[in-house]
Chains A and B, each alone.
Chain A
Amino acid sequence: MDTCRDISALISRAMDARLSVSERLRMRLHLALCSACRKFSRQVRLLRWASRQLGRQLGRQSGRQLGRRSS
């Protein structure tokens, strides 16, 4: 039986790699039963989305500064 500790590592790895069929099955089975790991999974995806936003926003921000300066 997989623990949250095992499954959280799979959730993390699934963000960047294709899991094997059996790993995917284990992950889905666990997620169906475990709300804590479901929350972790959502949080990991939110962290990715937000980190990218942050990186892109810093570029746009300096662009707005330039817009003001050169207009």
Chain B
Amino acid sequence: MTESRESRPTGLRADDLPGHRPAMLRYAILQVREAAVAEDLVQNTLVAALQALDTFRGDASPATWLIGILKRQIIDHYRRVSREAPLPVSGGDDPDGDADLLDRLFASDGHWATAPAVWSDPEGSRRQEDFLAVLEACLKGLAGQAGRVFALREIMELDPADICKDLGLTPSNYWVLMHRARLRLRQCVERGWLMERS
């Protein structure tokens, strides 16, 4: 351990860990949306990382390694939650009243009530950053089971089959939740992005 600085130039030291905290917290908030839960998950991750510090080989960057541990904490958290209290697919945990989401977004003849607008492509790095900021704000407001499923799939890039297994969902539950998440998210991003550009 004493010569670790020389022999492991890419090594990770205990006092490097706190510097990763803000980014990990942002990542965790996008997944769980509750600050207190996110804090706990990041704390558990840092403790786990500290214990496993010697196993860090520098194959991946420290950030990637830490996010990997955080991802496992998040998945375990969801497994626990869905074991303790299976979450309803709609209704219950959804403040927006998802039951009539589709009836709000589509007219009675099945056409879009308000047709989706053209989004200017977030070309260029500056525009891209603005777009991601709008998206991040919208993701934080994407409540309920739909928000969870979307974040696991699109931010953590988990396999749909694994998500179903971890959350105890059937494939058709999964399609319904992902579709609702996309409809809500695109509406929010559209508002934010058009405002941003005007």
**Given A36-B112, A40-B116, A54-B30; A12-B106 close (CB under 8 Å):** no
Selected contact of A12 from candidates B64, B131, B178, CB within 8 Å = B178
CB of A43 within 8 A of CB of B116, answer: yes
Q: Please name all residues of chain B whose beta carbon is closer than 8 Å to the beta carbon of A59 when the two chains form the complex.
A: 23, 27, 61, 63-64, 67
Report the separation of the CA atoms of residues A46 and B22 in the bound assembly, to the nearest whole angstrom.
Answer: 26
B26 → chain A, closest Cβ, in Å?
6
Is B155 engaged at the interface, CB distance under 8 Å to the other chain? yes
Is A22 engaged at the interface, CB distance under 8 Å to the other chain? no
Is A24 engaged at the interface, CB distance under 8 Å to the other chain? no
Interface size class of A (residues with CB under 8 A): 35 or more
CB of B110 within 8 A of CB of A6, answer: yes
CB of A12 within 8 A of CB of B63, answer: no
Is A65 engaged at the interface, CB distance under 8 Å to the other chain? yes
Q: Please name all residues of chain B whose beta carbon is closer than 8 Å to the beta carbon of A52 when the two chains form the complex.
A: 154-155, 157
Give how many B residues have a beta carbon under 8 Å from the other chain's beta carbons: 53
CB of B106 within 8 A of CB of A43, answer: no
A3 → chain B, closest Cβ, in Å?
2
CB of B63 within 8 A of CB of A63, answer: yes
Is B85 engaged at the interface, CB distance under 8 Å to the other chain? no
Report the separation of the CA atoms of residues A19 and B177 in the bound assembly, to the nearest whole angstrom.
Answer: 18
A interface residues, Cβ below 8 angstroms from B: 3-6, 8-9, 12-13, 15-17, 35-37, 39-40, 42-44, 46-48, 50-55, 57-63, 65-66, 69-70
B interface residues, Cβ below 8 angstroms from A: 13, 16, 19-20, 22-24, 26-27, 30, 61-64, 66-67, 102, 106, 109-112, 115-119, 121-122, 128, 131-132, 135-136, 139, 150, 153-157, 160, 171, 174-175, 178-179, 182-183, 185-186, 189-190
